[in-house]
Each structure stands twice: as C-alpha cells, then as structure tokens.
C-alpha cells in the first residue's frame, strides 16, 4: 500500500505533472533554506554568533578585569600581553572591548525589544480599532517622528539618571514610531486580504482572525525591522557614549571606549580602532542578516 503511494508520487514526478517535492517542507525550513543562499547574510550571521559568543564567554576570554588600572603601563601599543594595547590609565583595551560587547549587544537587544514592543502595540491598536483611536495614535506617532531623534535622545538622557538600563529604555522609546506605522500599514492591508475574508466567511471569531491570520503574516517585516534596529540601537548607544552621555564609567561599552580614546587618537590609535571595528562589523552584520531575512521571509519571491 505504502509502496503504491510512493510509486504514484514517483510516477507523477517523472512525468513532470506535479512539481511538488516528495517530503513536505515546513515554513521554518523553507526560510532557512532561502536564507542560507544569501552569502552576505550568512557571513553576517557568523559574525553575530562570534560576537555573542564573546559576550557570553567574556569572563573566560578577557585577560583582565575591565576596571583594572595600571598607570605605569598606560598607552602601550598592542603586544602579546595587551592584544589591543592599553588606554590612558593603563586598562587593557582587549578586555574592555570583550566586556564592552556585553553592554553594547544587550543595549542593542533591549532597546530594539522596547521599540518593537511599543511599535507593535501602538500600531496594531491603531489598525484594529481604527477611527478616532487610529487618528489620535497616529498623530501622536507623527509628532514623535517629527522630533529629531538624536536631540530628543540627548534631552531625555540629560533628564533621567544615567544608567545602562535607562539608556536602553531611552533608545527604545525614541525609535518606535516608524515601527508603529509599519505594523499599522501591514495589518490594514492584511485585513483586506481574501484569506482574512475567507476566515470571516467561515465564521471565525475576531480573535482567531487576528492571532491566526493577521499577526503571523505581519511578523515577517517586523522581524526584519527588529534585526536592523538592533544595529541602529548599538550605533545610538555608541554615539551617546561617545558624547559622554552613555553608559557611565567604569563600565565599558564600545562607544565609551571610543570616547575615552578620542583624545589620544594620534598618540594611541589602537584605543579607538578596535572598538570601532567591532561596532562596524556588528552593525554591518545585523544589516546583512536583516537583508537576508527580508528575502527569505517574502513569500512572493520565488526561490
């Protein structure tokens, strides 16, 4: 019986009548197969795995504490002992960059999560309720968007207490508007799609339509945007730290290491070069991964 079935499948395929593969492919598998084809995205993924491994295993990898001061050995060039040299008070730049990856990466992650959470909440509320609620929420979103983000960031940072957690929140709170608009647009267009109508014609409840039909289909662009946003949040944190408004001393973030090395740019370029490379690679990797995800998640693009 089973053999018959298989024969039937084989037969159909040899005649080219049915282009289906013998084993069904799950959605996740299909996305992964398509993602793997995107070479830059794969490179980005490897870089990110490497970076997160550094952050997770920082206590093992870092050769010294991030706050161990050693003034006699200040501004030393990279050597066996100090892989990336030392800064102006003799701290090991390598260890600080490794420990800094923890802060920079988690700032990126939490800030993006806050932005996405707010964006999805506000965007979907506006789209679902429509009318007055939609008008009010969207005008508010536009007002927030109209502020120059970075100056808004600077202002808030002046007001709230400077801590790692607050920096994460502040970056998150300033970057949700574009996401809210995107989510709203997605839901508005999905609501009009025929498969949503089909579900309504079957008698499906609103909750079922939202959670089974609309949200799963709205997720793809949100995932892509989140990925890119993490890179953006890391850059924001670095910029704030570079202006001395970011993560307070002695905690290292890639941006604060850059800031500390700024004065010695010519004398000791290694202090700025290495965290700079890490920021650059990480943000680039996030962008490529986002690009790859966008291609892989788009059902309209054929393999």
Partner 1 sequence: MSDYLLEVKDLKKYFPVRGGVFSKVTNWVKAVDGVSFGIYPGETLGLVGESGCGKTTTGRCILRLLEPTSGEVVFGGQNILELDRRQMRKIRKEMQIIFQDPYGSLNARMTVGDIIGEAFTVHGLAKGKERAEKVQELLKVVGLDPYHSRRYPHEFSGGQRQRIGIARALALRPKLIVCDEPVSALDVSIQSQILNLLEDLQEEFGLTYLFIAHNLSVVQHISDRVGVMYLGHLVELAPKDRLYSSPKHPYTVALLSAIPVPDPDMRKKRILLEGDVPSPLNPPSGCPFHTRCPKAGAECRESRPELRELSPGHFVACHLA
Whichever of 25 and 142 has its CB closer to partner 1, that residue is 25
Whichever of 27 and 32 has its CB closer to partner 1, that residue is 27
If you ran DSSP here, which 8-state letter would residue 73 be given? Answer: G
| Backbone angles phi and psi of 206, in degrees to 5 | -55, -45
Is the separation of the CB atoms in 212 and 200 below 8 Å?
no
Using CB under 8 A as the binding criterion, the count of chain residues that bind partner 1 stands at 27
Stretch binding partner 1 (CB under 8 A), from 81-89, 151-159, 189-197, 243-251? 189-197
Contact track, partner 1, 127-156, x by CB under 8 A = --------x---------------------
Whichever of 115 and 138 has its CB closer to partner 1, that residue is 138
The residues, any chain, with a CB within 8 Å of residue 276's CB and separated by 6 or more, are: 254, 258
With 0-12 / 13-18 / 19 or more C-beta atoms within 10 angstroms meaning exposed / middle / buried, residue 207 is: exposed
Whichever of 23 and 161 has its CB closer to partner 1, that residue is 23
Is the separation of the CB atoms in 148 and 175 below 8 Å?
no
CA 17 centroid distance within chain: 43
Stretch 196-215 residues interacting with partner 1 (CB under 8 A)? 197-205, 208, 212-213
**Dist. CA 34–CA 259, nearest whole Å:** 40
CA 232 centroid distance within chain: 8
**Dist. CA 31–CA 185, nearest whole Å:** 23
Whichever of 205 and 263 has its CB closer to partner 1, that residue is 205
Shortest distance in whole angstroms from residue 222 CB to partner 1: 14
Near partner 1 by CB under 8 A: residue from 20, 49, 77, 160? 20
Residue 10 is a binding residue for partner 1 (CB under 8 A): no
Which residues form the interface with partner 1 (CB under 8 A)? 5, 19-21, 24-25, 27, 30, 135, 193-195, 197-205, 208, 212-213, 216-217, 299
């Amino acid at each position: 019986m089973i053999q018959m079935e298989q024969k039937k499948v084989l037969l159909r395929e040899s005649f080219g009548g049915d282009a289906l593969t013998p084993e069904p492919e799950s959605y996740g598998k299909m996305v992964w197969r398509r993602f793997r084809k995107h070479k830059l995205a794969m490179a980005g993924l490897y870089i990110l795995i490497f970076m997160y491994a550094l952050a997770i295993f920082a206590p093992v990898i870092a050769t010294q504490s991030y706050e161990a001061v050693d003034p006699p050995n200040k501004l030393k060039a990279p050597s066996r002992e100090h892989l990336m040299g030392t800064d102006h008070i003799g701290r090991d730049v390598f260890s600080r960059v490794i420990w800094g990856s923890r802060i920079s990466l988690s700032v990126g992650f939490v800030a993006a999560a806050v932005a996405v959470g707010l964006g999805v909440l506000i965007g979907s509320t506006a789209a679902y309720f429509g009318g007055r609620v939609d008008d009010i929420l969207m005008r508010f979103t536009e007002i927030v968007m109209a502020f120059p983000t970075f100056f808004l960031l600077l202002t808030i940072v002046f007001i709230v207490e400077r801590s790692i957690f607050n920096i994460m929140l502040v970056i998150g709170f300033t970057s949700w508007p574009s996401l809210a608009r995107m989510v709203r647009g997605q839901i508005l267009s999905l609501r009009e799609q025929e498969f949503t109508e089909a579900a309504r014609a079957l008698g499906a409840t609103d909750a079922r339509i939202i959670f089974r039909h609309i949200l799963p289909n709205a997720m793809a662009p949100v995932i892509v945007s989140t990925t890119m946003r993490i890179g953006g949040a890391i850059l924001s944190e670095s910029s704030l730290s570079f202006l001395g408004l970011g993560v307070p001393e002695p905690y290292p973030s890639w941006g604060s290491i850059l800031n500390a090395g700024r004065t010695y740019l010519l004398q000791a370029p290694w202090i700025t070069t290495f965290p700079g490379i890490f920021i650059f690679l990480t943000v680039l990797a996030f962008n490529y991964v986002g690009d790859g995800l966008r291609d892989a998640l788009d059902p309209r693009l054929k393999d």
